[in-house]
Amino acid sequence: MKQAIVVGSGAGGATFARELAGVFEVTVVEAGSEFKPFGADLLRLEHLRSTRLFLDPRMIRLMFPAMRVTMASDGMALVYGLATGGTTTLATGNALRCDEALLKLGIDLSGDFEALSAELPISTERQGRWRPVTRDLFSGCQELGLSPVITPKLVDYTRCVRCGRCVLGCPTGAKWDSRDFLRQAVERGAGLLTETKVERVVMDQAGGGSERATGVVVRRRGRRKFLSADLVVLAAGGLGTPAILARSGLRTEDRLFVDPVLCVAAPSVGCHEDQEVPMPFYLESDGFIISPYFDYLSFFFSRGWRRPRHDITALMIKLADSEMGSVGSRRLRKGLSDRDRRRLLTATGMCRDILGRFGARPDSLFMGMLNAGHPGGTVPLTGAERDPLHADHLPTNLYVADASLLPQSLGKPPILTIMALARRVAGECLQRFG
């Protein structure tokens, strides 16, 4: 049986591994450890904020090892998951199809979306479960003519206790994450290596002068080891995959996007938005969406968020940012363009209007921390690559199966789209190598 190495266990990696397991001898290599939900006492941490111990968002790893933050230019905090399940364990469980840019390239993933939708617990939450703060925000958007849409969720609401901890790891298992597909892959015979960092891909010259990947060099518990493979798949995320390619001497494009997030908040005593399922609905405008969202990074690390967490109402702006930035072997560069800043200004004004309709005074509003969690775009697909779903400059048996392939920022939650794309790439690999 041929050997396949899948790097990463998030949305792309777990999906790819499940599709290949049983046909290939699959080994999933994950840099993090087994995921554990955030278990600290939030009230105690809330009290500690006044001590000013929380100075840098990168400190979040001390409280929650599965969540990591790296800082980019403009003071933007880039958030990612480092554990089994990748960033899906920290996501809010949204299930949106966002493949317009892929369709323009001639890549139609309709069959893959349908197959995934048939087995995933995708549902639209009934408005009867919403807290008053969410119902009032939804009504305010309607009154302003903004056409809010209820967000489809990867959530089993019979198990949901509305604790609001979706981004800290669901404590009841109500929110789906890619560990489910990872478990299925292991049941089909796949191996799993955790706490194992892939340093680089090893290549040699195949027949006809083309390069071929022979495996990867990993570091585990202080020791380097070579893992051989007939097929190597990089699904280490929009920051991890281009870094591995750079360390392997393979180029990526200088066109990183990250979907920046900025929250506009208002005091609201006893609203308990922090105990609502995040992003229960959203409204879409030119280049961004707006949705109710309690931002824990801002709550812990932004000085303006000093009120008790039960007394804050916040709206999140998620921006479809310009594809300008790069990820190297050791260096990350990312900023906002003038267009991005104009869109943020427009979106901020809309949030002020919505919160004003909600009853918040303009002088009481406060801003959150600029952060982002949807990096990608450094190995973008083109129309010429729509059939093999493989970049010409990569070795023939080295594939990418994560958001790095997306040609432009989605400005929306990408998990379902990444999974559909990874499923299609897996199908190509099965046809070509299986």
Cα 232 to Cα 259: distance, rounded to the nearest angstrom: 28
As a whole number of angstroms, the distance between CA 9 and CA 13 comes to: 5
Distance separating alpha carbons of residues 149 and 285, to the nearest angstrom: 12
Read off the pLDDT of residues 172-198 as tens digits, 9 standing for 90 and up. 999 999 999 999 999 999 999 999 999
Domains 3-33+178-253+377-433 and 42-51+58-82+121-175+260-324+336-372 equal at CATH topology level:
no
Asked if the model's pLDDT at residue 295 lies above 90, the reply is yes
Q: Confidence band (pLDDT; 50, 70, 90) for 49?
A: confident
CA 3 to CA 131: how far, in whole Å?
50
Mean pLDDT of 419-423: 98
Give residue 205's pLDDT band: very low, low, confident or very high (50, 70, 90).
confident
| SS3 label, residue 429 | helix
pLDDT of residue 434: 79
Mean pLDDT of the region 399-408: 97
Q: pLDDT of 128-171, one tens digit each?
A: 889 999 999 999 999 999 999 999 999 998 899 989 999 999 99
Domain boundaries, the chain: 3-33+178-253+377-433, 42-51+58-82+121-175+260-324+336-372
> What number does CATH give the domain 42-51+58-82+121-175+260-324+336-372?
3.30.410
pTM: predicted TM-score of the whole model, two decimal places: 0.96
Q: CATH assignment of 3-33+178-253+377-433?
A: 3.50.50.60
Which stretch of 24-38, 197-211, 328-342, 418-432 has the lowest confidence by average pLDDT?
Answer: 197-211
Count of helix runs (H) and strand runs (E) in the chain: 11, 21
pLDDT of residue 192: 98
pLDDT over threshold 90, residue 257: yes
Pairing of strands 191-193, 312-319: unpaired
Look at residues 235, 178, 214, 250 and name the one whose alpha carbon lies nearest to residue 3: 214
Closest by Cα among 341, 397, 421 to 211: 397
Query: In angstroms, how far is the first alpha carbon of the chain from the final one?
Result: 9
Q: Using CA of residue 334, residue 68, residue 297, residue 374, what is the dihedral sign?
A: positive
d(C-alpha 398, C-alpha 394), whole Å: 6
Report pLDDT for 206.
61
| The pair of three-digit structure tokens given for residue 303, joined into one six-digit string | 């000085």
